[in-house]
Structure 1
Amino acid sequence: MLQQFRYLFFIFVFFFFTNSMALETDWSVGSESQVRLISPITHNDNQSEIYIGLEYQLQKGWKTYWLSPGDGGFPQEIVSNNSQNIKALEIKWPTPEQFEILGIQSIGYKDQVIFPIKISLEDITASTHVVFDINYLTCKDICIPGKAHLELNIPSGEAELTKHFFILEKTLSLLPQESLSVSFLEKVNTNIYADEEFISFQLKAKAKKSFDNPSVYLHTEFGLPVINPNTVLTANSKKLTSDFIFDKNIIKENKIDVQFVVADQNRSFVINQTLTVQNKDISTNNNYLFILLIAFLGGVILNAMPCVLPVLSIKLLSMLQHLEDPLSIRRSFVVTSIGIIFSFILLAVSFISLRHLGISIGWGMQFQQPIFLMIIGLILAFFSLNLFGLFEIPIPRFMNAKVVSGLQENYYTRDFFSGFFATIMATPCSAPFVGTALTIAFTQSSIMMLSIFIFMGIGMASPYFFVSFFPGSLRFFPKPGSWMIYLKYLMGLLLFGTLLWIGNILLNHFNYYFIYASIFLLLLILFFSYFIRHKKLILLIATVIFFTFPNFSFFNPVSMKTNSDWLDLTTINLEELKEENILFIDVTADWCATCQFNKINVLNSQSIKKVFEQYNVIKIRGDWTKPNTIIEKFLQRHKKFGIPFNIIYNKENPKGIVLSELLSENEIVEVLNKL
């Protein structure tokens, strides 16, 4: 009997202790989502202010919403009229994230989220009865409203910690900082500007160290749609400017309460202010000059990329024969510069037209099309053969003799199209500043996109302009001699190497028989052009035959399985893998020269392979050699419109840490060490 009494006493004490050390409500009823209240303490601890937590548990793929969710949902509503001993409530909103639901951009939370609630008590000697009626919305493929009635009683008196204390303390520590002095920011300025058409909510921030991958969120009382702000970082990533631009007709008030949240990895800062709308031309307030400078620098750097350098070298080489005629040099380089700028304008107009037609656009996207690759391959073949002295195309006789004479003497047409060719060869390359300029261009108005492309063209044409202004600079080269012939052959080899690269890309669209047939056709052209005078006719017939190859199923590609320790981005569930793993994602393409540089010099190096093994990194690759909507959407979610694109994810960094376009081993190791 005594033994049974001991067991009953033990069970009573156990359940009483467990209940007192886990002050919480039951989960609400629901299949997609459940909510409950949790308390970090057993009593109010004789304090006038206490915290409790409103915890959401969402099923996989389901999301709920932030203060300003946009057009796609509504934030939670809490009615506490039946509560007792509560003077005031203040809901603390954790840092949200942006996502797409049913094709609409929204802001909110997924999986599990706890909203700390600060409660001011009327009487610290009385018990507090919390009664919440909660309305909220969860969405996945459909949206389902949720309701919950929760009651929690918190007695007065000295408190002990419950099992929820640490999770609530962690949640509070991760809330956006409200004090600038303890945040990761050094300085923050906010303004609202308006002109006759637009209103701009602007935030300028300076980081104490630097920004990695910042996001900025805006909340107002007007239920504004979720848009991607125009965000610009300085070259050292220490200063940030974000502009949210809306139609002025949406907002009529002159004084507006605003909240900005600046998030960067696991750091965030929130600022609440009442701002007066200032009259100012919005177009002068977007750092456009700085953006155009970035575009110009990107264009300059493109000349040093392996795709473009041979073209510039050949141009310089051709002018060494005319050192005694500076006027001819000036004209030649000016015409080439005009060709480069005009081709960038043509690219911009093409991208703008495609965007208006609703077609996804991206830098280098033309290299995904086999016909374009065939055209480039044909040009490269004749270009390289010409440098070896094996093939020349005479000017047609039907052209006016005066025009022919001018063309043969000044080569203006050739100069102009060499500028075109340099631009085309630049498109599979990316470089510092190029990615930034393109991201801004593809997310801005048509006028801004055109301006960015023009300045990128001016930047790429700047070496040519320099020589045209200072033709005497060519005298720094050695005097013309036999070395020029060997250099000419070297340039021919470089172009021939580029042709082999194009051929390798074409193997994604055709099989090896296509390559063999193309080589055989090229040899036939050389053979017949040597013995037959009608070279133009031979070239025309051969070109027609070449472009009929894609119509033959005989040349269709054969799918080949390759053994690789890289997962395919298009077949995995990225959200699942993020939760428990470190992920390294490489979006690449066979036509992307910078991507190949990253693979050869960094990703395929033994040291990086060992680092990936050390940190158990899951490697994922997205191959954008051919058009792929999954990869396009992935890039667009990260506001990227060109490749290479490399990003590292883990549980603490669900938005990812974006890496430089030109990778380095030190950068990857440094990021992994921080995780």
Structure 2
Amino acid sequence: MDTTLLNALVLAFAGGVLLNFMPCVFPILSLKIISVVRQKSAGDNRILQGCVFYTVGVLATMLALTGVLFIFRTTGNLLGWGFQLQSPFLVTLLLYVTFLLGLSFSGYYEITFGISILGRAGSQNLESFLTGVLSTLIGTPCAAPFMVSAVSFSLLQPGLHSVFIFQFMGLGMVFPYLAFSCIPGAIMLLPKPGKWMEYLKQLLAFPMYLTAAWLLHVLVSQKGVVALFPTICSIIAIAFLTWIIKNVVKSGSTLRDAAALCFTIIFVVTSAMYISKLKVAEDIPIHKGFVAFSEDSLQDLLDKGETVFVAVGAEWCLTCKTNELIINSEAIQRIFHTHGVKQMKADWTNMDSGIAQYLHSMGSSSVPFYVLYVHGRPTTEPIPQIFSEAKLTDFLLRSLTD
């Protein structure tokens, strides 16, 4: 194992740990918090078992995502990390799932099918596994510190190296929970179960609703306003469907629960397929002061001797949106204006082979990505993906005045 790969593994693990504190993952971890607190009465072994199934869910999903990336790469197609949120179908599906989870947390309905089929312990194990799957699907497009370097390196490596790096990232994601569950007596640090648990569960419904709202924003960015009305109608229909299942169908028999669950799944998947087939929005809004990116336009500006700042981001990338606030700040825009810097924005919300090829040529496969082309210099220096206004100001002034 060479030093570069070893460094990438360490960065991937550290990035995975920090991913737990990123805004895209934190709402989903409401599921894990509730699960751990609820399992206190069952003892240390029950919590450890739940963490093991959560780990399997995370690592299995990481392996599946890596496999898809590898398959596309071997067929000559370039995908970047976070590609799952470039699929309107999957975005819509995740939107419905997080909304349903929010309804469940709010006490609107309770999922009982898993208990009737698998028993309570088996149902909790399945819940832990699916929490791992959901956390990985929604959380991995976030750019945590250390993670971007590891991802960019891994996507340019042979398949086996990529698998190792992404598995280490998954291990980083689950490490805090595994460490907690393996510490003897750590469970005693948790408060005793009681009425407060129900209040906590209801409180944690709101991050789930917020996640659903964010996914709706991503979907509208991908498909345009035309997707808004059918999606909202589908959300209302899902709420109505769960109300019917709770108050009319009711639970009690395995067959009845199975039929209700299958009908709900069919409706959710069919609705997601319909919305994903809607015509893609052609005109993606570009912030004032930016020029829409294309390699030809970039080359034209460089041929004219212009200094160009290129920003590659996506609506589903919360780190990108945070960085946009800094880039659009008065201080940064003043620097661009003073030094005559042209600004280009590449929106990777939807799959775009041109942007993927450009990122690949720059040695990256994920967003956010920023680079400054300074007139008269043969080389370019990518800008760190996570920065403060002070750090970006310092970088720009050094690059533009040297």
Does the 8 Å contact 1:381/1:496 carry over to 2? Answer: yes
Q: What is the CA–CA distance in structure 2 between the aligned matches of 1:474 and 1:359, rounded to whole Å? A: 48
Evaluate the alpha carbon distance shift between residue 622 and residue 532 of structure 1 in structure 2; reply closer, same or farther with a 3 A threshold.
Answer: same
Does the 8 Å contact 1:439/1:641 carry over to 2? Answer: yes
* Structure 2 residue identity aligned to 1:586: A
Please tell me whether residue 566 in structure 1 is matched to residue 280 in structure 2.
no
* SS of structure 2 residue aligned to 1:390: coil
Evaluate the alpha carbon distance shift between residue 557 and residue 523 of structure 1 in structure 2; reply closer, same or farther with a 3 A threshold.
Answer: farther
Please tell me whether residue 523 in structure 1 is matched to residue 236 in structure 2.
no
* Structure 1 residue identity aligned to 2:20: N
Paired residue for 1:366, among 60, 70, 84? Answer: 84
Please tell me whether residue 667 in structure 1 is matched to residue 391 in structure 2.
yes
Look up the match of 1:447.
160
1:298 CA drift (Å): 1.5
Look up the match of 2:252.
none
1:469 CA drift (Å): 0.5
Look up the match of 2:29.
312
Look up the match of 1:613.
337
1:474 CA drift (Å): 4.2
* Structure 2 residue identity aligned to 1:301: L
Q: What is the TM-score of this pair, normalised by structure 1?
A: 0.53
Does the 8 Å contact 2:93/2:269 carry over to 1? Answer: no
Does the 8 Å contact 1:333/1:467 carry over to 2? Answer: no
Q: What is the CA–CA distance in structure 1 between the aligned matches of 2:114 and 2:52, rounded to whole Å? A: 26
Percent identical across equivalent pairs? 26
Does the 8 Å contact 1:583/1:617 carry over to 2? Answer: yes
What is the root-mean-square deviation in Å for CA atoms of aligned residues? Answer: 2.5
Paired residue for 1:593, among 291, 294, 318? Answer: 318
Please tell me whether residue 476 in structure 1 is matched to residue 193 in structure 2.
no
Paired residue for 2:53, among 313, 335, 348? Answer: 335
Please tell me whether residue 581 in structure 1 is matched to residue 297 in structure 2.
no
Moved more, 569-578 or 428-437: 569-578
Q: What is the CA–CA distance in structure 2 between the aligned matches of 1:563 and 1:413, rounded to whole Å? A: 44
1:606 CA drift (Å): 2.7
Q: What is the CA–CA distance in structure 1 between the aligned matches of 2:378 and 2:298, rounded to whole Å? A: 10
Q: What is the CA–CA distance in structure 2 between the aligned matches of 1:672 and 1:658, rounded to whole Å? A: 11
Look up the match of 1:381.
99
Q: What is the CA–CA distance in structure 2 between the aligned matches of 1:660 and 1:563, rounded to whole Å? A: 21
1:431 CA drift (Å): 1.6
Paired residue for 2:39, among 322, 326, 340? Answer: 322
* Structure 2 residue identity aligned to 1:669: T
Which structure's residues are more often strand, by fraction?
Answer: 1
* SS of structure 2 residue aligned to 1:662: coil
Number of aligned residue pairs: give it. 385
Look up the match of 2:129.
416
Spell out the pairing of 1:131-170 with structure 2 (5 A cutoff): none
1:556 CA drift (Å): 6.4
Q: What is the CA–CA distance in structure 2 between the aligned matches of 1:482 and 1:618, rounded to whole Å? A: 58
* Structure 1 residue identity aligned to 2:315: D
Please tell me whether residue 349 in structure 1 is matched to residue 73 in structure 2.
no
Q: What is the CA–CA distance in structure 1 between the aligned matches of 2:183 and 2:23, rounded to whole Å? A: 25
Alpha-carbon displacement from aligned partner over 1:537-593 (angstroms, at most 9, x marks no partner)? 55145325413523876x765757667221001275213323533322110111112
Q: What is the CA–CA distance in structure 1 between the aligned matches of 2:179 and 2:296, rounded to whole Å? A: 50
Residue ranges of structure 2 left out of the alignment (5+ in a row): 250-255
Does the 8 Å contact 1:582/1:618 carry over to 2? Answer: yes
Q: What is the CA–CA distance in structure 2 between the aligned matches of 1:322 and 1:652, rounded to whole Å? A: 63
Larger radius of gyration: 1
Residue ranges of structure 1 left out of the alignment (5+ in a row): 1-283
Evaluate the alpha carbon distance shift between residue 656 and residue 374 of structure 1 in structure 2; reply closer, same or farther with a 3 A threshold.
Answer: same
Please tell me whether residue 407 in structure 1 is matched to residue 122 in structure 2.
yes
Which structure's residues are more often helix, by fraction?
Answer: 2
Q: What is the CA–CA distance in structure 2 between the aligned matches of 1:563 and 1:412, rounded to whole Å? A: 46
Alpha-carbon displacement from aligned partner over 1:596-628 (angstroms, at most 9, x marks no partner)? 12123x123233223322333221100001111
* SS of structure 1 residue aligned to 2:67: helix
Please tell me whether residue 456 in structure 1 is matched to residue 174 in structure 2.
no
Alpha-carbon displacement from aligned partner over 1:484-523 (angstroms, at most 9, x marks no partner)? 3343233211111111111111112251222332233223
Look up the match of 1:514.
230
Alpha-carbon displacement from aligned partner over 1:321-362 (angstroms, at most 9, x marks no partner)? 333411111111122122212222222222222211222121
Q: What is the CA–CA distance in structure 2 between the aligned matches of 1:461 and 1:551, rounded to whole Å? A: 32
Give the structure, 1 or 2, with the largest relative contact order (CA under 8 Å, sep 6 or more): 2
* SS of structure 1 residue aligned to 2:360: helix
Please tell me whether residue 501 in structure 1 is matched to residue 214 in structure 2.
yes
Q: What is the CA–CA distance in structure 1 between the aligned matches of 2:142 and 2:382, rounded to whole Å? A: 19
Spell out the pairing of 1:33-432 with structure 2 (5 A cutoff): 284-324=1-41, 325-395=43-113, 399=117, 403-408=118-123, 411-432=124-145
Q: What is the TM-score of this pair, normalised by structure 2?
A: 0.87
Does the 8 Å contact 1:368/1:625 carry over to 2? Answer: yes
Evaluate the alpha carbon distance shift between residue 550 and residue 313 of structure 1 in structure 2; reply closer, same or farther with a 3 A threshold.
Answer: closer
1:477 CA drift (Å): 4.3
